[in-house]
Structure 1
Amino acid sequence: MKNLFLPVCFLMFIHCSQSGNKSELNADFVNSAPETAVAQNEMPPPPPMEEPLQAKAISSAVSNAADDQQKPRTPVETVSKKIIKNGEMRIQVADIRKAQDQVNAIIQKNKAYIQKEEFRNTDTDETLNITVRVPHQGFDTLVNSFSDGVGAVLSKNISSDDVTEEYTDVSIKLANKRIYLEKYRDMLKSAKTTKDMLEIQENIRELEDEIDVSEGKLRFIDDRVNFSTLNLSLYKEKVRTSATSNIGFGSRFGDSLTEGWNTFVSFFLGVISFWPFLLLVPVLIALWRRWRRKKTNKS
């Protein structure tokens, strides 16, 4: 038994010493691993490939434009109601000149002005057409003034058109175009090649033209909103009497002669238009005479 105990103790001692050596090696490996990783992390990354400055500017502008499209539009100031009022009136009067004086007084009283005036005098009536522009606050008052004391109203048509949505849409688009215009101008300052400069200048020119059109449209809408338009027609029917009528017997006799001559000319030209058929008349007459002669000889 003693002989077996000694060899077993010797083997256990050898096994413990080997385990201790392995533990020391593992500890040394663990301690050295972080240093190696740190050394690798401290290595500088490879330098990125440089791209041209203008390419960077264009890429940046494109990305900014995409971001601007994704972002909500820049809010514009609240637009008040935009209402365009138009009207047409036809009034029958006893005296055109007197009615015109009344109309001018009403126009002056309501701080309006005449944009267009047209007078027409025929054998049957006299008509004075006036286009009046009046501040929108006084439009209704102007219409009522014409309806009351000028003459008999034959027809009246008043309309209102709400253009608030159209005005707001044009205003928002105009604001966005101005923003893009400033960005293109900034890009033009950093452009390096002639090609890039020409392309940017062309974009700037197109934007400026679009901005001018939008601004003109807004001015036109504002003008129509601020000043309403009324087309006024003063009408006088002429009374036909033997003393006052411009169409007497002499005039009608001359008209009849002219009409008769025109009818004769029309008939003559119509007959001439049948000239191919007129050529057949001599042929038919010759055939008829020949047939008549043969019939006489037989008898």
Structure 2
Amino acid sequence: MIKLFLPLCILLLMSACNKSEMEAANSPAIKMMSEDKVAEEVYQVAPPNSISEKLLPDKNKSPQPSIAPKKLDTIAKKVIKNGNMRIQVGDIKKAQNQVADILKKNEAYIQNEQFQNTDLDDNLDLVIRIPHKNFDALINSFSEGVGSVLSKNISSDDVTEEYTDVSVKLANKKIYLEKYRDMLRSASTTKDMIEIQETIRELEDEIDVAEGRLRFIDDRVNYSTLNLSLYKEKVRSSATSKIGFGSRFADSVTEGWNSFVSFLLGIISFWPFLLLIPILIYLWRKWRTGRKK
């Protein structure tokens, strides 16, 4: 009897322990702790709430080298080329035709032309605009086939820094202009509207000036400028002149007559003094005669 009662007590005790464990597991406190633990685990694997958190480096990964941001709207190098040339030619008309052919070949054009004919020489002054890529070829063509080069001066001016500075300021002014236009649409008083409109007007003027400056620089960069002077000397000397003796004799007679006329006119210009001298002589003689009497 005792042997059967002892196992039965042990079995009842074990069933009571299992029941108490099940009740403890179903208690509210245990449920709350479990939910907090699960929530904590969920929050630990949740994605970051901000972009800056996404950009934080991963500790488990090896550090990657930093990459510099790509520059947008990179401004190309801006170089302005200018030149001055003076060429002595034997015939102005022939040289002018040669220049026209060279300009056509190099896609250049004449911006300004001025001709002057004097007793000593003939001068044809040209302001030529040439595409930047053809500037050197044009200079070489003038140096080789037109005449004797008396002087040549070529200069290059790098304006990249100025162009970049104006471009950046222009972009900023356009941004400010849009902001002020937004402010104008939301302005509530007349005073604010007038002040904003005045600021907008000033910004628009500054933008126009900046855009004009950029257009001017682009024009000077894309088309170089060359000041070309064609020169023909008129020499009149016995050693170098091709004019005959008769012509030179006539020129000498003409120059002598012109000199005589100039001398005569110069004397005539002193007529007040010539008129005053006889009067002074007459008065002096009269005074002297009276003194003797």
TM over 0.5: yes
Match for residue 126 of structure 1 among 122, 129, 141: 122
* Cα distance in 1, alignment partners of residues 110 and 155 from structure 2: 20
AA partner of residue 140 (structure 1): D
CA 1:101–1:289 in structure 2 vs 1: closer, same or farther (change >3 Å)? Answer: same
Q: CA deviation at 1:112?
A: 1.4
CA 1:100–1:201 in structure 2 vs 1: closer, same or farther (change >3 Å)? Answer: same
Q: CA deviation at 1:156?
A: 0.9
Q: CA deviation at 1:195?
A: 2.9
SS of the equivalent of 1:81 reads coil
- Please tell me whether residue 89 in structure 1 is matched to residue 85 in structure 2: yes
The answer for the alignment partner of 2:208 in structure 1 is: 212
The answer for the alignment partner of 1:264 in structure 2 is: 264
SS of the equivalent of 1:111 reads coil
Stretches of structure 1 that go unaligned for 5 or more consecutive residues are 1-74, 295-299
SS of the equivalent of 1:191 reads coil
Asked if 2 retains the 8 angstrom alpha-carbon contact of 1:76 and 1:172, the reply is no
The answer for the alignment partner of 1:223 in structure 2 is: 219
* Cα distance in 1, alignment partners of residues 253 and 200 from structure 2: 72
Provide the identity percentage: 58
* Cα distance in 2, alignment partners of residues 214 and 278 from structure 1: 77
Match for residue 109 of structure 1 among 85, 105, 111: 105
Q: CA deviation at 1:179?
A: 1.8
Aligned ranges for residues 45-60 of structure 1 at < 5 Å?
Answer: none
Aligned ranges for residues 58-207 of structure 1 at < 5 Å?
Answer: 77-207=73-203
* Cα distance in 1, alignment partners of residues 98 and 179 from structure 2: 58
Q: What is the RMSD computed on CA atoms of the aligned residues?
A: 3.1
AA partner of residue 233 (structure 2): E
CA 1:274–1:220 in structure 2 vs 1: closer, same or farther (change >3 Å)? Answer: farther
Q: CA deviation at 1:284?
A: 4.5
Higher alpha-carbon deviation: 255-264 or 277-286: 277-286
Q: CA deviation at 1:94?
A: 2.4
* Cα distance in 1, alignment partners of residues 88 and 110 from structure 2: 20
* Cα distance in 2, alignment partners of residues 276 and 209 from structure 1: 71
- Please tell me whether residue 233 in structure 1 is matched to residue 234 in structure 2: no
* Cα distance in 2, alignment partners of residues 194 and 285 from structure 1: 98
Higher alpha-carbon deviation: 146-155 or 219-228: 146-155
Q: CA deviation at 1:264?
A: 3.3
Q: CA deviation at 1:79?
A: 1.9
Q: Under a length normalisation based on structure 1, what TM-score does the superposition of the two structures give? A: 0.62
* Cα distance in 2, alignment partners of residues 274 and 241 from structure 1: 47
CA 1:238–1:255 in structure 2 vs 1: closer, same or farther (change >3 Å)? Answer: closer
* Cα distance in 2, alignment partners of residues 125 and 244 from structure 1: 21
Q: CA deviation at 1:275?
A: 8.5
Asked if 2 retains the 8 angstrom alpha-carbon contact of 1:125 and 1:237, the reply is yes
* Cα distance in 1, alignment partners of residues 139 and 128 from structure 2: 11
The answer for the alignment partner of 1:24 in structure 2 is: none
Q: Under a length normalisation based on structure 2, what TM-score does the superposition of the two structures give? A: 0.64
SS of the equivalent of 2:83 reads strand
